[in-house]
Structure 1
Amino acid sequence: MADDSRHPERNGPWQVHETELSYENPWIRVETSQVTHPNGAPGIYGVVRYANYATGVLPIDEEGHTWLVGQHRFTFDAYGWELPEGGGAKDIDPQISAARELQEETGLRAAHWQLLGEWHLSNSVTDERAFGYIAWGLRAGDAAPEPSEELKVERVPVRTLVDRCLNGEITDSFTHLMVLTALERARRGELTEEIARHLLD
């Protein structure tokens, strides 16, 4: 971290004079930097740095159904539905973490996996990286949510998931990214024929 205002570090068009740790817990670190903005004005820039990657899964079974997880999100004090999602340590393959989250939240195990994409979920203030997957060849089992989670699980047709995203019932951005990318990959022929049919029919 830069601490000498006479020799600021560069971050693209920003000059970074000093960066201080404002807050830290096991999941996030908040940094505040004294900067010179691209227009030459002095100011500050706050960044939330994540300890883990975000991982998410769009599971699709042989009948063209997927699983949604419902829970109350503390940040918005609101209940919502989303695809199975969670965090994973950065020194672990994100697919392994995604498979763990899928099993913990729904009890499902998947024989086949395909990376849908990697995204920055809120890149103006965080460095969080998200990895989304599509999974099929599903086998049911027992869910094992974390003690801090109070979850509901719902199995719905994939097209119902798409409709609930489009009508605003589902607002989770990570879910939208996985759905949108899966639909486009299906249209481009980048998914198996069966999975593409479930998405596009």
Structure 2
Amino acid sequence: MQHPEDNPWQVTSQKELYDNPWIKLTEFKVVNPSGNPGIYGKVHFKNRAIGVVALDANLNTYLVGQYRFALSEYSWEIPEGGGPLHEHPLDAAKRELLEETGLTANHWTEIQRMHLSNSVTDELCIIYIATGLEQLEAHPEDTEQLIVKKLPFNEVYQMVCAGRIKDAVTVAAILRVKLMLMENSLSL
């Protein structure tokens, strides 16, 4: 008998449908867990998702606003972006924070790893808290038209609770930090 955590899917063939510098789309012909034939599409991400909650000594944090092409709407988020798989995630986090906000940090703590949209992608997200902040100059990528806001952490938490922030990485990060604050397990 198969253990419940073992893979019940059988791949009979696979075909690459699309490939660009950021993603690859593959269609698999499968035998599903019920024993029936089917297909399954998988989006492979060529980068890790990286998120940073930057906190100052007064519990202010930073949000980045930008228009998200895929959603056709404006989005407020923590500083986040992609880190190539060959790059150490912390190096990617430091780069993203500096690019988007102009901030550097003396202290970094990884607080969460999670899968995003795990029914169709293999994307991994790693979230950090950055403290001991210093303001330098931001250098956003040419695809980014950003607005940076410094807000009290609790105001950002309320934005998440009210549904005004919908970005999954930001929601997870802010809720995780709120829990850490409630448990007194976060040192600034």
Give the shorter-chain TM-score range: over 0.9
What's the secondary structure of 2:127's corresponding residue? strand
2:135 to 133, 137, 140: 140
Question: Which has the larger displacement, 103-112 or 11-20?
Answer: 11-20
1:52 to 47, 55, 59: 47
Q: How far does residue 172 in structure 1 lie from its aligned partner after superposition?
A: 0.4
2:75 to 77, 80, 94: 80
**Residue 171, structure 1, aligned to residue 169, structure 2:** no
Alignment of structure 1 residues 2-21 onto 2, 5 Å: 12-21=7-16
Superposed CA deviations along residues 18-62 of structure 1, whole A, max 9, x for unmatched, are 011010000000000000111121110000000011101000112
Structure 2 regions of 5+ residues with no counterpart? 1-5
Q: Who wins on radius of gyration, i.e. which is larger?
A: 1
Aligned to 2:182: 187
Q: How far does residue 15 in structure 1 lie from its aligned partner after superposition?
A: 1.0
Aligned to 1:96: 91
Q: How far does residue 102 in structure 1 lie from its aligned partner after superposition?
A: 0.3
Q: How far does residue 180 in structure 1 lie from its aligned partner after superposition?
A: 1.4
Q: How many Å separate the matches in 2 of 1:163 and 1:143?
A: 27
Q: How far does residue 188 in structure 1 lie from its aligned partner after superposition?
A: 3.1
Q: Percent identity?
A: 43
The amino acid that maps onto 1:162 is Y
Superposed CA deviations along residues 132-191 of structure 1, whole A, max 9, x for unmatched, are 001110000100000111111111100010000000000001001111111222333332
The amino acid that maps onto 2:134 is R
**Residue 37, structure 1, aligned to residue 36, structure 2:** no
Aligned to 2:22: 27
Q: How many Å separate the matches in 1 of 2:178 and 2:149?
A: 21
**Residue 117, structure 1, aligned to residue 116, structure 2:** no
Aligned to 1:199: none
Q: How far does residue 70 in structure 1 lie from its aligned partner after superposition?
A: 0.4
**Residue 106, structure 1, aligned to residue 94, structure 2:** no
Aligned to 1:156: 151
Q: How many Å separate the matches in 1 of 2:92 and 2:37?
A: 41
Q: How many Å separate the matches in 2 of 1:89 and 1:14?
A: 29
The amino acid that maps onto 1:102 is L
What's the secondary structure of 1:21's corresponding residue? strand
Which structure would you say has the larger RCO, counting Cα contacts within 8 Å and 6 or more residues apart? 2
The amino acid that maps onto 1:41 is N
Q: How many Å separate the matches in 1 of 2:186 and 2:78?
A: 19
Please list every run of at least 4 consecutive aligned residues from structure 1 whose deviation after the TM superposition is greater than 4 angstroms. Answer: none
2:57 to 62, 77, 83: 62
> What's the RMSD between the two structures over aligned residues?
1.1
Structure 1 regions of 5+ residues with no counterpart? 1-10, 196-201
